[in-house]
Structure 1
């Protein structure tokens, strides 16, 4: 498969500089990645570098905790789109989920999705903080809210993506939403395993290393 076309080339650390974002965007052009994933303050720079290329701009909303108000998430998402974002990765309100306030979780996601319309919405579950049953419930809520993707992790909490969680997510969504895996996926071999498990997109900061080593045997 053309792995590069399914990668969100990611740089979300708080210390990321303008120079590093420009480098990230140029790498995405060189390797034909699906998108770059950057914090929203860097969308204008990414838009300038990526103009007249097919590379998209993904940004995060409610990141990394997901605990801000729905109104704040909506404003952040709409502002990001106005500035040039083509996809939104939103963090679910994990505290509401653990409180079993499923109506509030649903409303949070649904309201953001309604506000951004046709722009793809990926909902980050933060699987390291959830039990198996909570992962299932979170995925069910995302489907009800018409999210386009369910995403494993922010990469800023716990262990990141796991194949076990992806398999649970895949079984739950039953093709009604796509799956993005992120957090700790740093080799071509591991990326392939996630795609074999059913993910549609991978978010990683190790994208270039993956592409440069894609001809190595998976067993290595």
Structure 2
């Protein structure tokens, strides 16, 4: 399968406008990605622009920090799927996961999965692996996501930040270690999405070889050029 066909093209930057979405949808229909992942307010326009194509509209829930209430996540999901989103990428409640409040975390995931499924959409669960302290937490999130009926587990929002060695903030994203771990921690019924820092065809190939079956990126043009054997274009930030 084409690696480009595994891409969820991200239109998630706060500054991106409807004009950016028009351009993104034209590109994505041309190269044949899996979905265009947009801010919730953009779902109706994305659904309109992608109508009749094989590319589906997707969106994010509780993004990017995951700290909204379960009720808010459910309402956000319900609105998104009614407006045309066919896939939703929800952020777990990271603080509750760090506290080990697994009942809350599992119920939070399940509530979103249930409303998405009832409306014909699938759910991808974002862990924000770069903010998690150890592999045990990641494995537990895999278990809870699978038990809740999620279709995918996902590494990152692409917007997670940690303090670097020099004291500045550094973006986190997909790592080879996390893809391997998440693939082995889930049964074949759950797929793995790598996101954050995937900016080239070589990056994409690496994560697919490790078991990722979906890629979150805004560098679609660059990856598509690489797949065609052409010189890489400038990649996106997500």
TM-score band by shorter chain is over 0.9
Match of 2:143 in 1: 140
The secondary structure found in structure 2 opposite 1:15 is coil
Please list, as runs of the form range in 1=range in 2, the aligned pairs for 1:1-220 lying within 5 A after superposition.
1-117=1-117, 118-130=120-132, 131-158=134-161, 159-214=172-227, 215=229
- Structure 2: how far apart are the matches of 1:187 and 1:116? 31
CA-to-partner distance for each residue in 1:32-73, whole Å, 9 max, x for gaps?
111100001111111221111111001000000001110000
The secondary structure found in structure 1 opposite 2:104 is helix
- Structure 2: how far apart are the matches of 1:216 and 1:15? 29
Q: Which runs of 5+ in 1 are unaligned?
A: none
The secondary structure found in structure 2 opposite 1:213 is helix
* Counterparts in 2 of 1:216 and 1:163: CA distance versus 1, 3 Å: farther
Q: How many Å apart are 1:143 and its aligned residue?
A: 1.1
Tell me the TM-score normalised to structure 2 length: 0.89
Q: Which runs of 5+ in 2 are unaligned?
A: 162-171, 232-238
Contact 2:4-2:223 within 8 A present in 1 as well = no
Q: RMSD across aligned C-alpha pairs, in angstroms? A: 1.2
Q: How many residues align?
A: 217
- Structure 2: how far apart are the matches of 1:210 and 1:116? 30
Q: How many Å apart are 1:216 and its aligned residue?
A: 6.2
Moved over 4 A (4+): none
- Structure 1: how far apart are the matches of 2:147 and 2:95? 19
Q: How many Å apart are 1:176 and its aligned residue?
A: 2.9
Contact 2:156-2:173 within 8 A present in 1 as well = yes
- Structure 2: how far apart are the matches of 1:178 and 1:20? 29
CA-to-partner distance for each residue in 1:80-103, whole Å, 9 max, x for gaps?
011110100000011111111100
